[in-house]
Each structure stands twice: as C-alpha cells, then as structure tokens.
Amino acid sequence: MLKYVNTGIVFQEIPDEVTLAINISGCPCRCPGCHSHYLWEDIGLPLNTEALDDFVERFGNDITCFAFMGGDGDPKGVNILAQYLHETYPQFKVAWYSGRLRIPSNIKKTDFDYIKIGPYIRHLGPLKSPTTNQRLYRQAADGTFEDITHRFWHKIAL
C-alpha cells in the first residue's frame, strides 16, 4: 500500500506547472546522499483515490499538476493512481519522480505526462546540474517521451 508523508505546492519540480508534490514513503532506493531519509520508512497516511479526491478539493484551484515523489516500492500502485487522476480529473497533468534507472515494463508510461528517472548520485548532482544522471521526460502528443532535463540548467547572464 502506498503511503504519503506530506505534500507541498511547488514551482520548480515540473517546468511550466504549479505542482502538488506528494512525498511517498517506503522508498526502497536508499540513495547515498538522499536529502529525504525519512521517506525510507514505512510511515504516513494511505495514498489512495480518496486522498487524491481530498487533494483536488483542497488544492485543485491552485495547481495544474500532481507529482508522485517516489513510490518505487509499489510502481503499479502509482500507475493506478495516475490512471485515476487522468480519468477523473483530466484537467491536471500527472508526473512521477522515480529513483530507478528504468520504469518497469508493466507500467503504462502514457498514463504520465512527465516521468523523472534516476537515482540521486551526489557527485553528479540533481536535475539542475548539467552533469546529472537523472532525466525528466515529457510526453509528446504522439505518446513518445522527450528529454527536457536541460530546462533545469539555468544559464547565468553576465
């Protein structure tokens, strides 16, 4: 069962979106240098369709996207929730931040508008670092995914 610990409305996780980031516990990845060790534990409240309905009621007028931050312990559960959001609330985009190198083959990637993959590797840096191993993909109209990681690499004007 998926559980979440907290949520936050964020502006930097998904380009051009106001995102409700849902921090999912029970992370099996345990990346060295992880800034969210508390998400390794099996703690929090159930993350299910009722929780999503509550989030829509509370935050629906303020957001454009839902981001599942984690869920690698139950990828099928994340996929089911993404399907639910798209079917019930088609006005919202859906993103998934996974610490895995690949999305499992039994996951229907087209249920997500954005997918971030890759474990955090400290010396390579996060998405905002041009040396990062992590990648953020956006689904195109034809169902393919385009790498948009470069959108996090800010150029400094002199």
110/98 Cα distance (integer angstroms): 15
Span 6-58, pLDDT tens digits = 999 999 999 999 999 999 999 888 877 777 888 889 999 999 999 999 999 99
> What's the pTM value of the predicted model, to 2 decimals?
0.94
- Long-range contacts from 9-16, C-beta under 8 angstroms, 24+ separation: 9/59, 9/62, 9/63, 10/67, 13/67, 13/69, 13/95, 13/97, 14/65, 14/67, 14/93, 14/95, 14/114, 14/136, 15/148, 15/151, 15/152
Say what the pLDDT of residue 156 is: 55
Say which residue, 36 or 62, is predicted with more confidence: 62
* Average of per-residue pLDDT across 80-96: 98
* Average of per-residue pLDDT across 115-119: 95
Mean pLDDT of the residues in the chain: 93
* Average of per-residue pLDDT across 96-113: 94
Say what the pLDDT of residue 158 is: 57
Say which residue, 61 or 34, is predicted with more confidence: 61
* Average of per-residue pLDDT across 66-80: 96
Query: Residue 71 above 70 pLDDT?
Result: yes
Say what the pLDDT of residue 135 is: 96
